[in-house]
Amino acid sequence: MKIRAISGDISAIKADAIIISVFEEARKPEGELARIDKKLGGAVTKMMKEGEVKGKLSEIALIHSLGKLGAGRVAVVGLGKKAELTQDKVRQAAGETLRYLKKKGVATAASLNLGAGAAGISPEDAAQTLAEAALLGTYSFDKHLTKKNNNHKEIKELSIVAVASQLASAQKGIDRGVIIAEAANLARDMTNEPANFMTPTEMANVAKKLAGDYGLELTITEKKEMKALGMGGVLSVNQGSAQPPKFIILSYRGRKTEKVDIALVGKGVTFDSGGISIKPSEGMGEMKGDMAGGAAVIAAIGAIAQLKPKVNVVALCAATENMPDADALKPGDIITIMNGKTVEIISTDAEGRLTLADVLCYAVDKLKAKNIVDVATLTGACRVALGDITTGAFANNQALADRLLKAAKETGEYTWQMPMYEEYKEQNKSDVADIKNAGNRWAGAITAALFLSEFAGETPWVHLDIAGTSDTDKDHGYQVKGATGVPVRTLVKLVMSLAK
């Protein structure tokens, strides 16, 4: 989809459809909508009277213009109550509308710069939000379908109509929105891709492509070097797999120093069968998405490289499968993480924390990162606690947590901080090793976070458990069934905020 800012009279624009918004309080068409209504012979007024246009958030009414306007159709979309408007509500409503129009076969669309001026939303931010909504809301993963279906239709062009004096800032917002949404869609593509395609090697290939396209520095650490580094967590998880592990490191340099301002660490288990502690077969296929965290940090640094903030960022992902095999890791085994700490394996299905432990050590000891954020589909317990709506956040540093929560709030990627009280640590105590990799049934998301905290040490660190939020089972707003691309937009926003 090509998105651009234009100025002019929306009622004259030649397009398959135009998009106009209405608030819930409106009793009759106002402003631009009133002008359109007049040209349509009062169609909108009638629909409002009859309760067909109520202005409720994401409610869509489609009106054929029958030659009375430049465009063939008008989509009137509700933005809810004006006083309750947020940027994310605009994103939700616009995402819903563009997906709806795509399904109707609309190829060219024009939209008012929805939300601009209301709720303190600048024209630039409104245009960014709209561009994001368009690309996120019309996303589909259909590369493996040999027969085309309705979802294959594409909106080829979206024009965002801005006041002439705001044209340049609207275009700036669009450019930023496109970069960010395309990054989220890349993370979605990687996560939706089945495990026989998105292997550790393929993840490394995606990183290679990004490095080439946007000038990132790339290091792929192979199994042999991982052995030399003592990455016992990743290697033990990899033992049962026929796929070689890949430790992917992408670096972005935004300022003239070697210092790493922030390390973004992602869990990259390209398939989690559970290993010898094998998972039930029902729903196991979902575990192709156990690399969503890795996909998010790789995609996010691709966007960061295009936005060019004055910050140094490194994205790290140790990619491996978790498979059962004669050589596989076994319950009862004791392994050694990169920093020398020993771990008793209670369950080979608590594999994510083993791979992340090594990478956190690497970020702390080798990179001396000033801040770390890790992103992982880590625990079913987090999904039980927060569902597929909210990401769980855990932190050893409140300033960094607050900064991340603020970024998450701004992007609409719901995130909620969970406690990390010392008392929960009891569950991770082992009689035969320094720590064990699983506790009892209760508070599983917290004990997993506490396990990770041992390897983050004193470095300010936030852990995001996206086991619930990395995919969704239905289309809603700008979200589409399948991988969500969470928390790419939050990570980008966080890094941009560090540059200020």
User: Which residues of the shown chain bind ligand BES in the complex (CB under 6 A)?
Assistant: 272, 290, 347, 349-352, 377-381, 383, 438, 444, 467
Partner from Zn ion, ligand BES, Mn ion, none contacting 444, C-beta within 5 to 8 A by type? ligand BES
Partner from ligand BES, Mn ion, Zn ion, none contacting 347, C-beta within 5 to 8 A by type? ligand BES
Catalytic entry in 73, 267, 353, 493: 353
Q: Does 37 bind Mn ion (CB under 5 A)?
A: no
Residue nearest Mn ion, CB atom distance = 349
Residue 279 annotated as catalytic: yes
The rounded distance, in Å, linking the Cα atoms of 177 and 111 is 15
Q: How far is the CB of 273 from Zn ion (least distance, A)?
A: 9
Interface with Mn ion (CB under 5 A), residue total: 3
Among positions 16, 37, 261, 272, the unique one binding Mn ion when judged by CB under 5 A: 272
Q: Considering beta carbons, is residue 269 or 498 the nearer one to Zn ion?
A: 269
Q: How far is the CB of 455 from Zn ion (least distance, A)?
A: 17
Give residues 191-220 in contact with Mn ion (rule: CB under 5 A).
none
Catalytic entry in 81, 153, 253, 279: 279
Q: How far is the CB of 74 from Zn ion (least distance, A)?
A: 47
Q: Considering beta carbons, is residue 347 or 417 the nearer one to Mn ion?
A: 347
Q: How far is the CB of 350 from Mn ion (least distance, A)?
A: 6
Q: Which residues bind Zn ion (CB under 5 A)?
A: 269, 272, 290, 352
Q: Considering beta carbons, is residue 175 or 272 the nearer one to Mn ion?
A: 272
Joined together, the tokens standing for residue 399 give 């300033």
Q: Does 349 bind Mn ion (CB under 5 A)?
A: yes
Q: How far is the CB of 288 from Zn ion (least distance, A)?
A: 11
Q: How far is the CB of 168 from Zn ion (least distance, A)?
A: 46
Residue nearest Zn ion, CB atom distance = 272
Residue nearest ligand BES, CB atom distance = 380
Partner from Zn ion, ligand BES, Mn ion, none contacting 380, C-beta within 5 to 8 A by type? ligand BES
Give residues 395-414 in contact with Mn ion (rule: CB under 5 A).
none
Partner from Zn ion, ligand BES, Mn ion, none contacting 469, C-beta within 5 to 8 A by type? none
Catalytic positions, please?
A: 279, 353
Binding site for Mn ion (CB under 5 A): 272, 349, 351
